């Protein structure tokens, strides 16, 4: 027969052990799911690293081709300086290049369909194109190297066994870079479909919305996908920074106070932050173009107006305090 009072303590002890075992299993399952997610994210980063490295190699190849510019121009100038001596349908010639030190004979070949004069003109055109391409390639190379460095830092942090919160932050950073998160989300949490907008929204004069791009890739999405042709587009002139858009109605002109608020945000969310005065450019969205193959966030303007903004700290504080919660 059991001694009085022995039953309940044994029951309590068993319940405690069962709770501890359930907690241990939950912890083990969460750790396993977190590890599965970490590995999935790491695979995505490594794929992105390979793609970005190849992209950088192609860009650097474009830049290297620009080394032909000086030679093309020198050859074209040499042909034009001897043009009166060359037969009209000449296909090849050797000329002494006096611009070299010491002067050297240079063998030149011409397209039979063009002849010397038109071949020289074509060389000048190609030199100009290569020079423009080199400028674009240099900008793209800077952006791509920065993206590569960011991916490498994220990969290193994933390899260091991050906790759940850090894993969520790394996944968000990857989405900012356009790397799809196929890891299934945070362990133990049911994922709800969300819509992430590429801009932050502030309330300007008259409680009107002002959209500010979150980053380089988001700048493109804001300008190209969300802004309408009639909307006002702003940017800090000559400085890297956010694209800013003021939604406008049909045939509506932007009120001066709202324009000043939007310009204040364009200056603040740029490399000119803290400076005063700052040059801000604005134009209708329909006058903004995205050059083919250009770096994220880089656009060209067909028409623009530039004004000098003198920063009002009180206006900036009001605008930053007016930010609306991110839409989901």
Q: Which of 70, 180, 165, 73 is nearest to 122 (CA)?
A: 73
User: With contact defined as beta carbons under 8 Å apart, do 272 and 236 qualify?
Assistant: yes
How many angstroms separate the CA atoms of 16 and 261, rounded?
Answer: 61
Give the phi and the psi of residue 267 in degrees, each rounded to 5.
-70, -40
For residue 326, what pLDDT is reported?
60
- Lowest pLDDT segment from 41-55, 164-178, 190-204, 301-315: 190-204
Give the DSSP H or E segment for 31: helix 7-65
Reply yes or no on whether the pLDDT at 328 is more than 60. no
Tell me the CB-side half-sphere exposure of residue 192, using CA atoms within 13 A. Answer: 4
At 273, phi and psi to the nearest 5? -55, 130
Residue 99 has phi, psi (to 5 degrees) of -75, -15
pLDDT for 140 equals: 83
pLDDT band at 36 (very low <50, low <70, confident <90, very high): confident
pLDDT per residue as tens digits for the range 111-156? 888 889 999 999 999 889 888 888 888 888 888 888 889 899 888 8
299 — phi, psi (to 5°)?
-135, 170
The residue assigned the tokens 């405690």 is 16
Q: Indicate the pTM of the whole model.
A: 0.44
- Distance, CA of 277 to CA of 267 (rounded, Å): 9
What pLDDT is stored for residue 182 in this prediction? 65
Burial class from Cβ neighbours inside 10 Å (0-12, 13-18, 19+) for residue 56 reads middle
SS3 at position 282: strand
Element (H, E) at 12: helix 7-65
For the stretch 260-281, pLDDT in tens is 999 999 999 999 888 889 999 9
Local confidence band at 60 (pLDDT 50, 70, 90 cut-offs): confident
DSSP secondary structure code for residue 195 in this structure:
-
Min mean pLDDT across 145-154, 184-193, 311-320 is at: 184-193
The pLDDT, as a whole number, for residue 2 is: 44
Cα end-to-end distance, the chain, whole Å: 65
- Give the mean model confidence (pLDDT) for residues 97-110: 88
Percent with pLDDT over 70 in the chain = 88
Using pLDDT thresholds of 50, 70 and 90, give the confidence band for residue 301. very high
Selection from 184, 137, 178, 177 nearest residue 35 by Cα: 184
Q: How confident is the model at residue 26 (pLDDT cuts 50, 70, 90)?
A: low
Under a CB-based contact definition with an 8 Å cutoff, are residues 119 and 113 in contact?
no
What sections of 66-114 are H helices per DSSP?
68-81
The chain-wide mean pLDDT, for the chain, equals 84
- Distance between CA atoms of residues 312 and 226, nearest Å: 29
3-class state of residue 199 by DSSP: strand
């Amino acid at each position: 027969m059991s001694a009085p009072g022995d039953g309940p303590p044994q029951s309590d002890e068993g319940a405690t052990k069962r709770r501890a075992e359930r907690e241990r299993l939950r912890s083990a399952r969460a750790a396993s799911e977190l590890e599965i997610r970490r590995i999935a994210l790491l695979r995505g980063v490594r794929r992105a690293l390979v793609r970005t490295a190849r992209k950088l190699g192609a860009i650097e190849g474009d830049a290297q081709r620009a080394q032909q510019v000086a030679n093309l121009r020198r050859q074209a100038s040499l042909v034009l300086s001897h043009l009166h001596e060359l037969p009209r349908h000449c296909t090849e010639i050797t000329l002494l290049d006096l611009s070299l030190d010491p002067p050297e004979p240079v063998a030149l070949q011409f397209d039979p369909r063009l002849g010397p004069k038109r071949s020289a003109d074509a060389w000048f055109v190609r030199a100009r194109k290569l020079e423009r391409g080199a400028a674009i390639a240099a900008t793209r190379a800077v952006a791509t190297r920065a993206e590569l460095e960011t991916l490498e830092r994220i990969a290193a942090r994933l390899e260091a066994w991050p906790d759940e919160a850090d894993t969520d932050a790394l996944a968000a950073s990857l989405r900012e870079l356009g790397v799809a998160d196929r890891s299934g989300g945070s362990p133990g949490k049911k994922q709800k479909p969300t819509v992430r907008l590429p801009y932050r929204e502030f309330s300007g004069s008259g409680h009107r919305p002002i959209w500010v791009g979150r980053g380089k890739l988001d700048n493109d999405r804001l300008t190209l996908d969300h802004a309408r042709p009639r909307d006002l587009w702003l940017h800090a002139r000559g400085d890297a920074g956010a694209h800013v858009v003021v939604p406008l109605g049909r045939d509506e002109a932007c009120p001066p106070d709202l324009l000043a608020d939007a310009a204040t945000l364009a200056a603040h969310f740029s490399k000119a932050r803290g400076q005063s005065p700052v040059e801000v450019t604005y134009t209708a969205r329909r006058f903004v173009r995205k050059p083919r193959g250009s770096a994220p966030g880089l656009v060209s303007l067909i028409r623009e107006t530039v004004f000098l903004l003198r920063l009002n700290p009180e206006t900036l504080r009001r605008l930053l305090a007016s930010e609306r919660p991110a839409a989901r």
